[in-house]
Structure 1
Amino acid sequence: MSDPGSVLVLDLPDESATARLGRCLARLLRPGDTLLLEGEIGAGKSHLARSLIRQRLGRMEDVPSPTFTLVQTYEAEDGDIWHADLYRLSQPDEIAELGLEEAFATAICLVEWPQRLGRYVPADAMTLRLERKGEGRTATILAPTRPGFAAALRAVWDDAGPGGGRGMTDRAALALDFLQTHGWADARRWPLAGDASDRSYQRLALGDRRAVLMDAPPGKGDDPADFIKIAEFLGRLGLSPPAILARDLKHGFLLLEDLGDDLFARLIEQEPAREAPLCRAAADVLIRLHQAAPPPGLPDLTAADWAEAAMFCVDFYRHALTGDHAGRDALRAEMEHILTAHADGPRVVILRDYHAENLLWLPDREGVRRVGLLDFQLAQMGQPGYDLVSLLQDARRDVSEATEAATIRHFLERSGRSEQSFSAAYAALGAQRALRIIGIFARLCLVGGKDRYLAFLPRVWSQLQRNLGHPALSDLARIVNETLPAPDAGAIERIRLQCRRT
């Protein structure tokens, strides 16, 4: 008969509680411990083991069920973890062939269907039995050879609370809690390419279902509430932002519709002839966007604000190369003058990062809904040509001059704008944007330790010079070329050598 002090019974009302127990156990188990997991099929044994393993590893690892492989092993900092599912074991003598007998002495071993161990059951093994109880389950933990284990587990369980048991990192544990709450805890996960922000993304696959997890840590500058606000606005216009499947604004998580992999940039790289029609489709989205009344509360900068924003090019790029800020006041004043004269008319909603890496082709939809939209949470009020410049003067890839000219013509014809006045506005916005991007890419290296963006500086400089070639920008061209050194190989290397390594 078991010593009552070696037994603990816990109610687990839902999947989240089962995972919480796994995390709590991970804090107490040590190499050489064996935990026998008993319970019928579907009782939650693999779910608990998955949570325990991830907590012990300290990272979000893919933890598949060992139903067919019989054993899965993992390397943790303080020893190996073995996860065995012996349901398909034909006879106990196969235990030796699997290596489990040796593992019992040195690793943390989690064994499902332990009755198939026969004579190989370790004498000091602990048992966890899961039994269904209503919509949840009951867990009974027996540790007859570990005095105090049940009491320690109870203390950890009570201390952890419903969202506790952290350890893999707070963000990872919070993300797992979020996914458990919404039925995605068992999904396979892999990272998606990020951007220059603090946001990160993971694609989720659960059977034939797909979704994307957005992780935007609070206090880092990007509020998921802004994403939701703009996504709902775009959806009301009949456009295609990802649908919001679930949200946790307090902790900065969103579960999003997965719009697929057909990024414009990827499609154009595979088939360059698609560049012009895809850019035309993207221009049609902008026309629809510009016809709409904006949602309330969007930022609306003045020409002076936009000019100041461009001064990153002096504050970071020039300063990294010369050690001073000479020419800043003259450049800012002329930039403001140009914007006031040519690009300070009625505002429309702009999405800001409107380029081929943030646009997806959705051929099964119709009209403007065929263009999937990403990374729009920083939308604000601005000039009609701003997003067109973002699309056609892409910092990351070359857009042919023929496509640029054809897309501008299409945009002007569909929107009824004057080519003469638009050309000066387009050049002014292009110059402002290029100057700011040059500064941003330098700052990403100097402050953020991200030097890969330096490779784009020559392209952005070339775009800047093309914009400065417009007759209306002749004075700005002179000041820019007096103030900013060209980003040749030597200049880029000097900035790289100052890159903050994080």
Structure 2
Amino acid sequence: MTDTRSSLSLRLADETETDRLGEELALVVKPGDCLALWGDLGAGKSTLSRALLRAMADDDYLEVPSPTFTLVQNYDLRLAVAHFDLYRLTDPEELEEIGFSDALDSGVCLVEWPDKAGTALPGSRIDIAFGFEPGGGRQITITAPALKIARIERVFLIRRFLDAHGYAGARRRHLTGDASTRAYEYIYPADAGTRRILMDAPRQPDGPPIRNGKPYSQIAHLAEDVYPFVAIDTALRDRGFAAPEIYESDCEAGLLLIEDLGQETVLDEDGKPIAERYRASVECLAALHATRFDRDIPLPTGGMHHVPDYDRTVMKMEAELLIDWHLPWKRNGAPASDEERAEYGAIWDRLIDQLADTEKNLVLRDFHSPNIIWRGAELGVQRIGLIDFQDAMIGPSAYDLVSIVQDARVTVERPLVDQLMADYLSLRRAEPDFDEQSFLKAWAIMSAQRACKLNGLWVRLMKRDHKPGYMKHMPRTLWHLSVAFEHEALAPLRDWCARVGIGPTESLAQA
């Protein structure tokens, strides 16, 4: 079904506002977007293009030469951008000769004088028409498929949020987007004050039902708005942990202006673990697990957030990614038999039964290198900045130790793994109620559960979502599964995997 085209209009008083529009469009463009800039000479097309490119580069002095004579200028920025000026184009067929289709496939296309292209531009393009207004200024009309207009309207909503909270004229730059629909921006106040971070997390509609009439997000207890983030953030800060301060919020709109905890990570320049920082992270985690968190957390805006359980349904659904995706991939498409599936499910039921009496507490769920900020100038647990915890649950606390010790995207070599485990256990042994043997069994079970999930997820990302890059992590996460198998509680799963041919057959050096 073709996405219906919609329009919006705005007035730009001067060149500064044209620059601002270009900078904001840089926040929302995606690969495959074609921006067609319509208007007479001097209307502002080149000004907008230059501002967009400099914002994408985060370089106010980026050279942006006019492509009038070369027809196209290519930029390797956060996204690849091709800037076309078709004024001298004599035939629309020449577009292919100058690489238009290839540029659109791999990135973003900015097109000045799009009328010269005839009908060659995609129907999904974003048309930006510039018109002169009496007395100066420009009238801008943006026309695009409704979903793309919604992206642009969202960036204007954020502008109004910032203006209303004292950040009028702030410079905005892309920071990152995560695996969900959340996106983040750096906010540089106009008065040169301290940089902030804007968290943009619009409320998500329910997906299709997949089990017992419920969508995946409800079954897995994934945050569907920003209230869980606000609640967990408040609970962490109240207990002395370094979660970001929330300065301004519009929870209904899914907008938070939060503290920038810094840019340093726990990895070195080559992306390898820095032992001191990983050990400090485990120290922080031990303190977190020794701290009591309530299931019901009051929200600053009123009401309560109930922290959900990391329950059997969630654990099994995640573990089933191995049998749903990884096993058929290993067998060139042949699915698991009914008997194999039944046995696998029964094994996990028995493993989860063994977690009944293990220590349970707040589980952040993604306590690993991408979500840990190193704050070396601070002391104790304040050295570890915590982010991305909106999906936290109450579950086996061992899961978060698995997350950092068996980092899915970074190889933590076995000597450091052993050191981190020893550090953590040494810190927890001082607690009178800490049951080390029960914890170690829970660690092995949650290690296997997480590894089964990830080894299936990498295949699903490749097969279903056309993202093969994640497969590079599989040698590592298969190794993690073999480490979990060292505990006697995992013998049934280890034997099942051996029978069906799942195991660390590739070299860890490839990871």
TM-score if structure 2 supplies the norm length? 0.64
Q: In the superposition, relative to structure 1, how do residues 31 and 204 fare at CA in structure 2: closer, same or farther (>3 Å)?
A: same
Task: Kindly state the Cα deviation for residue 184 of structure 1 after the two structures are TM-superposed.
Answer: 5.7
Is this contact kept in 2: 1:361–1:372, CA < 8 A?
yes
Is this contact kept in 2: 1:201–1:213, CA < 8 A?
yes
Within 5 Å, give how 1:49-198 maps onto structure 2: 53=48, 61=56, 79=85, 141-142=134-135, 153=139, 169-182=152-165, 183=167, 185-187=169-171, 189-192=173-176, 194-198=177-181
Is this contact kept in 1: 2:458–2:470, CA < 8 A?
yes
- Aligned pair partner of 2:365 in 336, 342, 352: 352
Determine the structure 1 residue equivalent to 2:480.
463
Deviations 1:226-282 (A, max 9, x none): 222211121111211112233343443332211111212348957844156324433
- Aligned pair partner of 2:266 in 257, 260, 264: 264
Task: Kindly state the Cα deviation for residue 370 of structure 1 after the two structures are TM-superposed.
Answer: 2.2
The question of 1:407 aligning with 2:430 is answered no
Which sections of structure 2, spanning at least 5 residues, go unmatched? 1-10, 25-34, 68-72, 74-81, 88-111, 114-130, 206-216, 218-223, 298-304
Q: Distance in 1 between matches of 2:407 and 2:417?
A: 12
- Secondary structure, counterpart of 1:209 in structure 2: coil
Within 5 Å, give how 1:230-249 maps onto structure 2: 230-249=232-251
Task: Kindly state the Cα deviation for residue 381 of structure 1 after the two structures are TM-superposed.
Answer: 0.9
The question of 1:373 aligning with 2:366 is answered no
Deviations 1:419-470 (A, max 9, x none): 2222211111111111111112222222222222211111111111111121
Is this contact kept in 2: 1:166–1:173, CA < 8 A?
no
- Aligned pair partner of 2:201 in 208, 216, 221: 216
Q: Distance in 2 between matches of 1:436 and 1:390?
A: 12
Determine the structure 2 residue equivalent to 1:324.
335
Task: Kindly state the Cα deviation for residue 329 of structure 1 after the two structures are TM-superposed.
Answer: 2.0
Is this contact kept in 1: 2:281–2:384, CA < 8 A?
no
The question of 1:439 aligning with 2:456 is answered yes
Q: Which segment is superposed worse, 167-176 or 307-316?
A: 167-176
Q: Distance in 2 between matches of 1:190 and 1:235?
A: 26
Which sections of structure 1, spanning at least 5 residues, go unmatched? 1-9, 36-48, 82-105, 108-125, 129-140, 144-148, 160-164, 494-502
Task: Kindly state the Cα deviation for residue 211 of structure 1 after the two structures are TM-superposed.
Answer: 1.7
Q: Distance in 2 between matches of 1:185 and 1:229?
A: 30
Determine the structure 2 residue equivalent to 1:303.
312
Within 5 Å, give how 1:331-342 maps onto structure 2: 331-342=344-355
Task: Kindly state the Cα deviation for residue 31 of structure 1 after the two structures are TM-superposed.
Answer: 2.8
Is this contact kept in 2: 1:55–1:168, CA < 8 A?
no
Deviations 1:180-230 (A, max 9, x none): 4441644151434x4433323233334352122223343276422222221
Is this contact kept in 1: 2:479–2:504, CA < 8 A?
no
Q: Distance in 1 between matches of 2:431 and 2:317?
A: 30
Structure 1 vs Structure 2: percent identity of aligned residues? 25
Determine the structure 1 residue equivalent to 2:92.
none
Q: Distance in 1 between matches of 2:322 and 2:272?
A: 34
As a proportion of its length, which structure holds more helix?
1
- Secondary structure, counterpart of 2:173 in structure 1: strand
Is this contact kept in 2: 1:412–1:418, CA < 8 A?
no
Is this contact kept in 2: 1:55–1:166, CA < 8 A?
no
TM-score if structure 1 supplies the norm length? 0.65
- Aligned pair partner of 2:467 in 425, 446, 450: 450
Q: Distance in 2 between matches of 1:304 and 1:486?
A: 25
Task: Kindly state the Cα deviation for residue 19 of structure 1 after the two structures are TM-superposed.
Answer: 7.0
- Secondary structure, counterpart of 1:169 in structure 2: helix
Task: Kindly state the Cα deviation for residue 324 of structure 1 after the two structures are TM-superposed.
Answer: 0.5
Q: Distance in 2 between matches of 1:388 and 1:426?
A: 8
Q: In the superposition, relative to structure 1, how do residues 216 and 236 fare at CA in structure 2: closer, same or farther (>3 Å)?
A: same
Task: Kindly state the Cα deviation for residue 397 of structure 1 after the two structures are TM-superposed.
Answer: 1.8
- Secondary structure, counterpart of 1:262 in structure 2: coil
Is this contact kept in 2: 1:268–1:274, CA < 8 A?
no
Q: Distance in 1 between matches of 2:38 and 2:442?
A: 66
Is this contact kept in 1: 2:172–2:185, CA < 8 A?
no
Q: Distance in 1 between matches of 2:487 and 2:272?
A: 33
Q: Distance in 1 between matches of 2:406 and 2:272?
A: 20
Q: In the superposition, relative to structure 1, how do residues 415 and 359 fare at CA in structure 2: closer, same or farther (>3 Å)?
A: farther
Determine the structure 2 residue equivalent to 1:291.
292
Is this contact kept in 1: 2:364–2:392, CA < 8 A?
yes
Q: Distance in 1 between matches of 2:388 and 2:278?
A: 22
Q: Distance in 2 between matches of 1:230 and 1:402?
A: 30
Is this contact kept in 1: 2:406–2:480, CA < 8 A?
yes
Q: Which segment is superposed worse, 382-391 or 356-365?
A: 356-365
Task: Kindly state the Cα deviation for residue 371 of structure 1 after the two structures are TM-superposed.
Answer: 1.4
Determine the structure 1 residue equivalent to 2:117.
none
Is this contact kept in 1: 2:19–2:48, CA < 8 A?
no
Q: What is the Cα-based RMSD across aligned positions, in Å?
A: 4.5
Is this contact kept in 2: 1:189–1:203, CA < 8 A?
yes
Q: Which amino acid aligns with 2:353?
A: T
Q: Distance in 2 between matches of 1:317 and 1:364?
A: 44
Q: Which amino acid aligns with 1:313?
A: L
Q: In the superposition, relative to structure 1, how do residues 78 and 460 fare at CA in structure 2: closer, same or farther (>3 Å)?
A: closer
Deviations 1:25-45 (A, max 9, x none): x9997131458xxxxxxxxxx
